[in-house]
A and B are shown apart, each in its own frame.
Chain A
């Protein structure tokens, strides 16, 4: 029997009608060729199984970028139209030009700030955050300085005021936290000394794959103290860190690696960008933040939460980080940040039992203990419309931090401040964390240091000790 010359072409359907009929007949009769066909089909099957899925916002981002770059091939009126409408700092050129001229005439003022100050009620729940500012202005005539957007909303105004040392000192005094100030200064000094030349932090003692998390958490620790890339004692550290985080962002918007703990790292990095943007209004951060938010929105699981990576089972802690990032981004004017929050709220609530305990992935199930998911969920829900009476009620489910888990301490303190549980939480936090600081300013390892090393541990402990002034209580 003469076997078929090219079974690859047969499997791929490349044969002509006559050849195909003859080949089919042969394969049906020849066990050897039939086995070969199955093996070749198996090769295609294996190749198909290793294909990757495009990122969810690939089409959107690509179309947006294409629309921005179309001028290259255009001429005449097209070119004129482009020059007039091309984006500068996220706004059409004609608008920026008009704004600069109006500014020169002394006409443009910080209307948005006045409007936000006039707002009554002082609440900043999800339902009442206003739309984004329509007015913008340069703070002065210097073209060297970043273009600044004024913040809106009480929440964003609070973040915008974080760098105010007097306000920070008042909040420390109010909460009896003066003794933590030295610990925070020491920890920030240690973190600054450990920053690599490229602006990132290596998770020393942990796993290299967590460099994005280490860098984002260290950045948040500086930002939490009021140090941004434009203001404060560590502005160079923050500037280099933000620049590095931006180098880790691909066109899909994702910051950090595409394997392992993808979404927790991306969410924390997004929170860092969002806080920096909210604190400074530096519009160079707007697009990176907007893209990071789009990636978060696109990677949400069908259940409404986020897990370690797209397609994995969501969990309460990653979801709380993602909600933190989205909530700050929303307050700072990223329009797309709000939409995913509704389903995320429903997801967290579905994991929370009437007594206030939140399961990690299922209601009533706590594979690593109830403290962290319960605290993280309550913290996230405080920002997303949970009634203050419910916050107070659920605060009784919080577990006082004991210094062995800085992540848990951070979320617990943020969830407890301003609630009936705050006094006990604050005392336990100080008692548990302060003795664990080393003479060089770093903090001793906690239960997660095998992953994030001493940088993540120190940054997380610092964030816990900054609770007094990080966010509105």
Chain B
């Protein structure tokens, strides 16, 4: 049996098939929400923005031409939305203060990440791990961060990341390489042995 592709589904969405739209949303919701989660660090805001992307896609379905891969198209919309939002708010993509609270107990990044790295078999609290990952990602330069967030998404190859960001594939490769090495250093310092 032939698998129904994203392009097939979009062609149905073009003629108003809401069921096909639901399938598309169901298939891509997780990586898209997590893409926005990594830039906002706010679950509600991430879901709101992901929802806006899907609604924009639905509203512009008539203009969709299956020339580009659907995920490329989707992340272009996502990236444009994020840039619009930043522009509208009149500032560059935010960097997170290390004194900002990161959990319901009011602990800050400093509180969480200044703790000693746990022994390899220590069970790390989910919130602590999330705070450390957040801190590690926020230390990356914006251009590396954007490559990382897209490349981390399921199924996004370097070529596709390059198309979404409009940069050469070699640049994607070098930025991703630098980002990963830095993440590896920061995370291993805080979380212990990553192997």
B43: A residues at CB distance < 8 A: 52, 258
**Given contacts A8-B177, A51-B34, A54-B47, A14 and B158 within 8 Å (CB-CB):** yes
Does A193 touch B at the CB level, under 8 Å?
Answer: no
**Given contacts A47-B152, A59-B25, A251 and B54 within 8 Å (CB-CB):** no
Does B95 touch A at the CB level, under 8 Å?
Answer: no
A47: B residues at CB distance < 8 A: 133, 152, 183
Does A128 touch B at the CB level, under 8 Å?
Answer: no
**Docked complex Cα distance between A426 and B173 (Å):** 73
**Docked complex Cα distance between A6 and B48 (Å):** 36
Does B108 touch A at the CB level, under 8 Å?
Answer: no
- Output the least CB separation between A58 and chain B (Å): 6
Does B75 touch A at the CB level, under 8 Å?
Answer: no
Q: Do A39 and B158 touch across chains, with their CB atoms under 8 A apart?
A: no
**Docked complex Cα distance between A6 and B81 (Å):** 32
Does A396 touch B at the CB level, under 8 Å?
Answer: no
- Output the least CB separation between A171 and chain B (Å): 40
Does A182 touch B at the CB level, under 8 Å?
Answer: no
List which A6-62 residues lie within 8 A (CB) of chain B: 6, 8-9, 12, 14, 35, 38-40, 42-47, 49-55, 58-62
Q: Do A46 and B194 touch across chains, with their CB atoms under 8 A apart?
A: yes
A49: B residues at CB distance < 8 A: 126, 129
Q: Do A58 and B177 touch across chains, with their CB atoms under 8 A apart?
A: no
Does A90 touch B at the CB level, under 8 Å?
Answer: no
Does A73 touch B at the CB level, under 8 Å?
Answer: yes
Does B150 touch A at the CB level, under 8 Å?
Answer: no
**Docked complex Cα distance between A38 and B60 (Å):** 43
**Docked complex Cα distance between A252 and B157 (Å):** 30
Q: Do A51 and B51 touch across chains, with their CB atoms under 8 A apart?
A: no
**Docked complex Cα distance between A55 and B26 (Å):** 11
- Output the least CB separation between B12 and chain A (Å): 13
Main secondary structure of the interface of B (DSSP, over half): helix
List which B40-90 residues lie within 8 A (CB) of chain A: 43-44, 46-48, 50-51, 54-55, 58-60, 62-63
- Output the least CB separation between A76 and chain B (Å): 12
Main secondary structure of the interface of A (DSSP, over half): helix
Q: Do A258 and B44 touch across chains, with their CB atoms under 8 A apart?
A: yes
> Among B33, B50, B130, B180, which residue has its beta carbon within 8 angstroms of that of A43?
B180
> Among B51, B103, B127, B158, which residue has its beta carbon within 8 angstroms of that of A251?
B51
Contact size range, B:
35 or more
**Given contacts A46-B191, A58-B25, A58-B51, A66 and B176 within 8 Å (CB-CB):** no
Does A259 touch B at the CB level, under 8 Å?
Answer: yes
Q: Do B176 and A8 touch across chains, with their CB atoms under 8 A apart?
A: yes
Q: Do B184 and A14 touch across chains, with their CB atoms under 8 A apart?
A: no
- Output the least CB separation between A451 and chain B (Å): 11
> Among B21, B30, B50, B104, which residue has its beta carbon within 8 angstroms of that of A257?
B104
Q: Do A6 and B177 touch across chains, with their CB atoms under 8 A apart?
A: yes
Q: Do B54 and A66 touch across chains, with their CB atoms under 8 A apart?
A: yes
**Docked complex Cα distance between A331 and B25 (Å):** 32
Does B37 touch A at the CB level, under 8 Å?
Answer: yes
Scan B168-188; emit 1 where CB is below 8 A from any A CB, else 0.
000001001100110110011
B133: A residues at CB distance < 8 A: 46-47, 50
Q: Do B173 and A9 touch across chains, with their CB atoms under 8 A apart?
A: yes
Q: Do A250 and B187 touch across chains, with their CB atoms under 8 A apart?
A: no
List which A163-189 residues lie within 8 A (CB) of chain B: none
> Among B29, B46, B62, B193, which residue has its beta carbon within 8 angstroms of that of A59?
B29
A residues within 8 Å of B by Cβ? Answer: 6, 8-9, 12, 14, 35, 38-40, 42-47, 49-55, 58-63, 65-67, 69-70, 72-73, 207, 209, 250-252, 254, 257-260
Some 15 contacts from A to B, beta carbons below 8 A apart, are A8-B180, A9-B158, A14-B157, A39-B195, A42-B184, A42-B187, A43-B183, A45-B194, A53-B30, A58-B25, A66-B55, A66-B59, A69-B58, A209-B104, A259-B104
- Give 14 A-B pairs besides A43-B183, A58-B50, A63-B21 with Cβ atoms closer than 8 angstroms: A8-B177, A9-B177, A39-B194, A42-B187, A42-B193, A50-B134, A51-B34, A52-B34, A52-B43, A58-B33, A60-B22, A66-B55, A73-B59, A259-B104
